[in-house]
Amino acid sequence: MSINKLALIRYKTIDDCLRNRYRKWTLDDLIIKVADVLYEMEGITTGVSKRTIQADIQIMRSDKLGYNAPIVVVDRKFYSYSDPEFSITNAPVNQADVEKMKEIVGVLKQFNGFTYFDEMSDMIARLENNLQRTTNQGRNCIQFEGNHLLKGLEHINPLYQFILNKKSLLVEYKSFKAAASQHIICYPYLLKEYRNRWFLIARNKKRKLLLTMALDRIIEFQELAKEPFDDHDGIDFDSYFDNLIGVTKNESDKASRVVLFIDKYNAPYVLTKPLHHSQTLLKETDQGIIIRIEVVLNFELEREILGFGECMKVLAPRILKSRIHKRLNMAIQKYEREEKEEPDQK
């Protein structure tokens, strides 16, 4: 049984609602929410009938699409999932839909090579490989970097829709440094990936600052329908991260000229895979190379430099050189302390 586009939108919207543990959903609430999403995504102004949503819920409960959704009615009024971890997005795709996706991938492949589709090449290859593995178990023709233990990937699509439709959010977020989670009213602007980890860029209503929130640290979020959306006037996100390695940046941060020495054994690696698009070769000797990049001084830059260990040295600016020197000394001290303690542990 294949699914048409509008039905899939309805199922996904109902799924998003029932996964939201912040509020209770009556049948009328679901009807209103689905109608709003259909209007926003497809321009449909006729709404959706009570019978349609009831039929959708029955299909989601059944095994016709492989969902078997544990939808229950609490207090004879409120719909929810009995399993708070359940989502129809975790259900396997049926064979009819696999065949349809194969057709779509076939059409996309015809556009490979066109400039407009350059950035989609890896996505098309990934889709084709996943579909190939679905029909030919065990055969894998290409491997992409990935972390199957990474949390928060299920947030990407709903957050994208909120960004697209300019919806204010209430986000429950717990950073690595915080002892407890906090609730933040914010305006989402951008989803950004860095090294296979996703981040939400949003403005905090209370502090008026841009936030960078890792999706794997987001616990819950919901739309605040009555909160006016504050747009990102004056920020061009197409260029906002140009002077950056990673995602950590304040609006007031300016790029610094960072000069680095790389030994001759690692020089080819840095020359063929630049640390940043601003990279310039300043000098080349028998001992190695000296390059310059113009980037914001942040945690990700320091981690990149430290990743080269003894093969890279910061020449400028002085503040960055001092930080790296201090961190390397701290690492040495830990090894030395460990060596002194080892005899006592035997």
Which residues touch 78 (CB under 8 Å, ≥6 apart)?
24, 25, 26
Does residue 345 lie within any of the structural domains? no
Closest by Cα among 167, 162, 153 to 218: 153
Do residue 105 and residue 28 come from a single domain? no
Do residue 162 and residue 180 come from a single domain? yes
Does residue 250 lie within any of the structural domains? no
177: CATH? 2.30.30
Token pair listed for 63: 């095994």
Does residue 23 lie within any of the structural domains? yes
Token pair listed for 335: 């090894």
Bigger pLDDT: 110 vs 17: 17
Q: Exposed e or buried b for every residue in 152-184, given b needs 16+ CB within 10 A?
A: beebeebbebbbeeebbbbbebeeeeeeeeeeb
Bigger pLDDT: 160 vs 139: 160
Q: How confident is the model at residue 93 (pLDDT cuts 50, 70, 90)?
A: low
Bigger pLDDT: 97 vs 194: 194
Bigger pLDDT: 22 vs 10: 10
Is the pLDDT assigned to residue 110 strictly greater than 80? no
Q: What is the pLDDT of residue 25?
A: 94
- pLDDT above 90 coverage of the chain, percent: 55
Do residue 294 and residue 321 come from a single domain? yes
Are the CB atoms for 172 and 220 separated by under 8 Å?
A: yes
Q: What is the pLDDT of residue 312?
A: 97
pTM: predicted TM-score of the whole model, two decimal places:
0.67
Q: Residue 122: give the domain boundaries.
A: 95-135
Is the pLDDT assigned to residue 322 strictly greater than 80? yes
Whole-angstrom distance, CA of residue 171 vs CA of residue 187? 10
Does residue 302 lie within any of the structural domains? yes
Q: Over range 100-126, report the average pLDDT.
A: 68
pLDDT in tens, 211-230: 999 999 999 999 998 999 99
Does residue 172 lie within any of the structural domains? yes
Q: How confident is the model at residue 286 (pLDDT cuts 50, 70, 90)?
A: very high
Q: How confident is the model at residue 158 (pLDDT cuts 50, 70, 90)?
A: confident
Does residue 178 lie within any of the structural domains? yes
Q: What domain count does the chain have? A: 4
Whole-angstrom distance, CA of residue 166 vs CA of residue 186? 11
39: CATH? 1.10.10
Q: What is the pLDDT of residue 10?
A: 94
Does residue 141 lie within any of the structural domains? no
Q: What is the pLDDT of residue 217?
A: 93
Whole-angstrom distance, CA of residue 172 vs CA of residue 175? 10
Q: What is the pLDDT of residue 1?
A: 43
Does residue 72 lie within any of the structural domains? yes
Give residue for tokens 């980037």. Answer: 295
Per mean pLDDT, which range of 22-26, 274-278, 319-323 is the poorest? 22-26
Q: What is the pLDDT of residue 150?
A: 75
Mean pLDDT of the chain: 87
Among residues 232, 267, 284, the one where a domain terminates is 232
Q: What is the pLDDT of residue 96?
A: 66
Do residue 129 and residue 190 come from a single domain? no
Q: What is the pLDDT of residue 134?
A: 62
